[in-house]
A and B are shown apart, each in its own frame.
Chain A
Amino acid sequence: MHPAYSVIFFTTASGAGYGALIWLAGLAAGGALPADRESGIALFLAALGLVTAGLLSSTFHLGHPERAWRGLTQWRSSWLSREGVAAVVAYLPALLFAAGWIILADNSGVWIWAGIVAAVLAVVTVACTGMIYASLRAIPRWTDPFVVPVYLAFAVSSGGVLVLAIAALFGTDPGLAAWVAAISVALAWILKLVYWRRIDRAKPVATAESATGLGSIGTVRLLESPNSSANFVMREMGYVVARKHAARLRLIAAVLGGVAPVLALAAGSLIAGYAAAAALLVALAGIVVGVLIERWLFFAEAQHAAMLYYGARTV
């Protein structure tokens, strides 16, 4: 599949934003973050800013962005529509949570409940994002049961690193929370490694023979493409990343996005002040780059069944 930058940015940015909301609710409920006004503004600006930027960027690739509201109507059948509805609904409790924290300097009692509802809706929204892909049978590797857990795990882990880094900049040492974040990062990459292993070993679902129905005659090969230059389907679905490059990129992603942040978070938990903040910023930079590469590969490695009509042997 063609790795469109708007979709990569949307899924990573809004994922981190929703993950940050989940962490803010969790930390507030655990009494681990003071309802400090300045840090509150920075934290919610980052969380809701990323969510909003992601959602806006996802409308940029639409042919008719001005009709985007229509996308909220078909939640009965469409995961994309469900994602849109969940995203819009999640703003209500998230803004209440932010208002209590920033305006009233209170993140306890009823405001925590707003945060918890926001966190639940954040999980629902990210799960819907994953289901958009996991429901597409035409892209067999995306229907893997690990797709949705991986989306959730990267949202939570990247959001956690983001929240802890900002909190550390405002003087809250991460302490134990850094270990929780490190475990969430490690868990996300373990899920991803399992997913990669599964797609590498998956048996083909469809073949050039089943796509044409000519398998009873023998092996099917494309002799002539219907068009001399590329068409829409080839542009959109025909992107193939070389296996050799994919293997190298997987390694780079796992080291920058997994190993480096876990080490930096471990270091951050042991030190305090700006040194801890610096360690957490290193962790944040690592996971941002790692998740961007991971998301790029998610698209670039996915093979679409329609390409069986354009020379692909199996998908």
Chain B
Amino acid sequence: MTSLSVSPGSKKLGLVIDLDICVGCHACAVNCKEWNTGGHSAPLTDEDPYGSEPLGVWFNRVHTFEAGSGAEGRTVHFPRSCLHCEQPACVTVCPTGASYKRERDGIVLVNADTCIGCKLCSWACPYGAREYDYADGVMKKCTLCIDRIENTNLSEEERVPACVSTCPASARHFGDLGDPESEVSRMVDARGGYDLMPEMGMQPVNKYLPPRAARKVTPRAADTPGKPQEAPVTTGSAFLDWVDRMLSR
């Protein structure tokens, strides 16, 4: 049924993504692809993979944005995947019942056996999270790695989505955002985690942690334009110069 549950469970599994420490290495996207091309939605087909115009199904994509300009400007790496919304328009527009939101934990999934490949769900998602598999003729999307998080063949610490397990900077966190006491919920509270495009009314479960405020760098005298150039104070030792600079910050 594509109608949303009138009594959804309190559990809301999702991700918290820390934009302050993401280094933009794309490891989450690659490990996601690697796991999921053999997982629940397998395969994640690639067309022309070694050609000049490769096209393939990916559940994670890492964008890089510039925000602001000058000294206040920031480069922000921005991983993007399905947000497992509480009001997912992708589910309610589905004419077949192939798209559904699980009552027990809120994960949004597609049943590949009943999907007719009309693509309307991808039109309904403002986040561009769903990707059509032209070879299979069905829509595919992030499953929050249901085949890992519930997989008792894996050790306890491995039962997290592939993107979370692989992140070398620990910028991605997985947990129950419906439980205010969970580690991820506390992280969201402490850091001011926010929703993407709240104006769309989808009520995403995944949260993003904003970049921390840029550290104020006091310009050195030599960098300040208009001042007479002073001879830089040096001790004659590169190490001691560095210590001097650090201590005079």
**A217: Cβ under 8 A from any B Cβ:** yes
Contact of A74 among B56, B72, B97 (CB under 8 A): B97
Give CA–CA (A79, B123) in the complex, Å. Answer: 13
**A198: Cβ under 8 A from any B Cβ:** no
Chain B residue at smallest Cβ distance from A211: B197
Chain A residue at smallest Cβ distance from B198: A210
Q: Are B123 and A236 in contact (CB under 8 A)?
A: yes
CB of B102 to closest CB in A, whole Å: 16
Q: Are A309 and B80 in contact (CB under 8 A)?
A: yes
CB of A233 to closest CB in B, whole Å: 4
Contact of A73 among B61, B95, B197 (CB under 8 A): B95
Q: How large is the interface on A (under 10, 10 to 19, 20 to 34, 35 or more residues)?
A: 35 or more
CB of A5 to closest CB in B, whole Å: 15
CB-CB under 8 A for A218 and B124, given A64-B138, A73-B97, A213-B196: no
Q: Are A306 and B65 in contact (CB under 8 A)?
A: no
**A237: Cβ under 8 A from any B Cβ:** yes
B85-106 CB contact bits vs A (8 Å, 1 = yes)? 0000101111111100000000
Chain B residue at smallest Cβ distance from A221: B66
For A84, list chain B residues within 8 Å (CB): 95
B169-180 CB contact bits vs A (8 Å, 1 = yes)? 000000000000
Q: Are B63 and A231 in contact (CB under 8 A)?
A: no
What DSSP secondary structure best describes chain B's contact surface? loop
CB-CB under 8 A for A211 and B196, given A67-B116, A71-B118: yes
For A227, list chain B residues within 8 Å (CB): 58, 61
Most buried by B among A84, A208, A230, A233: A233
Q: Are B210 and A233 in contact (CB under 8 A)?
A: no
CB-CB under 8 A for A71 and B66, given A63-B138, A138-B123: no
For A224, list chain B residues within 8 Å (CB): 63-64
CB of A34 to closest CB in B, whole Å: 41
Q: Are B125 and A236 in contact (CB under 8 A)?
A: no
Contact of B94 among A68, A78, A205, A213 (CB under 8 A): A78
A-contacting residues, B42-89, CB 8 Å: 52-58, 61-69, 72-76, 78, 80, 89
**A282: Cβ under 8 A from any B Cβ:** no
Q: Are A70 and B97 in contact (CB under 8 A)?
A: yes
Contact of B63 among A205, A213, A222 (CB under 8 A): A222
A-contacting residues, B1-50, CB 8 Å: 1-4, 19, 26, 29
Give CA–CA (A101, B134) in the complex, Å. Answer: 45
B132-143 CB contact bits vs A (8 Å, 1 = yes)? 111011110000
Chain A residue at smallest Cβ distance from B56: A231
For B123, list chain A residues within 8 Å (CB): 1, 136, 138-139, 236-237, 304
Q: Are B63 and A226 in contact (CB under 8 A)?
A: yes
Q: Are B93 and A214 in contact (CB under 8 A)?
A: no
Chain A residue at smallest Cβ distance from B91: A77
**A62: Cβ under 8 A from any B Cβ:** yes
For B66, list chain A residues within 8 Å (CB): 220-223
Q: Are A76 and B3 in contact (CB under 8 A)?
A: yes
Chain B residue at smallest Cβ distance from A80: B95
A-contacting residues, B199-227, CB 8 Å: 199-201, 208, 210-211
Give CA–CA (A206, B19) in the complex, Å. Answer: 20
Q: Are B122 and A63 in contact (CB under 8 A)?
A: no
Give CA–CA (A135, B136) in the complex, Å. Answer: 27
CB-CB under 8 A for A305 and B118, given A222-B63, A231-B131: no
Q: Are B1 and A74 in contact (CB under 8 A)?
A: yes
Q: Are A223 and B89 in contact (CB under 8 A)?
A: no
CB of B232 to closest CB in A, whole Å: 33
CB of A74 to closest CB in B, whole Å: 5
For B122, list chain A residues within 8 Å (CB): 232-233, 236-237
Give CA–CA (A243, B57) in the complex, Å. Answer: 31
Q: Are B89 and A136 in contact (CB under 8 A)?
A: yes
CB of A240 to closest CB in B, whole Å: 15
Q: Are B128 and A237 in contact (CB under 8 A)?
A: yes
CB of A9 to closest CB in B, whole Å: 16
For B97, list chain A residues within 8 Å (CB): 70, 73-74
Q: Are B78 and A136 in contact (CB under 8 A)?
A: no
Q: Are A62 and B117 in contact (CB under 8 A)?
A: yes
Q: Are B120 and A231 in contact (CB under 8 A)?
A: no
**A81: Cβ under 8 A from any B Cβ:** yes
**B151: Cβ under 8 A from any A Cβ:** no
Most buried by A among B55, B93, B96, B117: B96
Q: Are B127 and A223 in contact (CB under 8 A)?
A: no
For A138, list chain B residues within 8 Å (CB): 89, 123-126, 200
Q: What 4 pairs between A and B have smallest CB-CB spacing? A: A63-B117, A218-B68, A63-B137, A306-B128
Given contacts A77-B3, A217-B76, A222-B65, 17 further A-B contacts (CB under 8 A): A62-B118, A63-B115, A63-B116, A67-B96, A76-B2, A78-B94, A79-B93, A81-B96, A210-B199, A213-B196, A217-B67, A223-B75, A226-B63, A226-B80, A227-B61, A305-B200, A310-B63
A→B interface (CB under 8 Å): 1, 61-65, 67-68, 70-74, 76-81, 84, 132, 135-139, 205-206, 208, 210-233, 235-237, 304-310
Q: What would 5 A/B residue contacts be, using CB atoms closer than 8 Å?
A: A70-B98, A78-B94, A214-B211, A233-B131, A304-B128
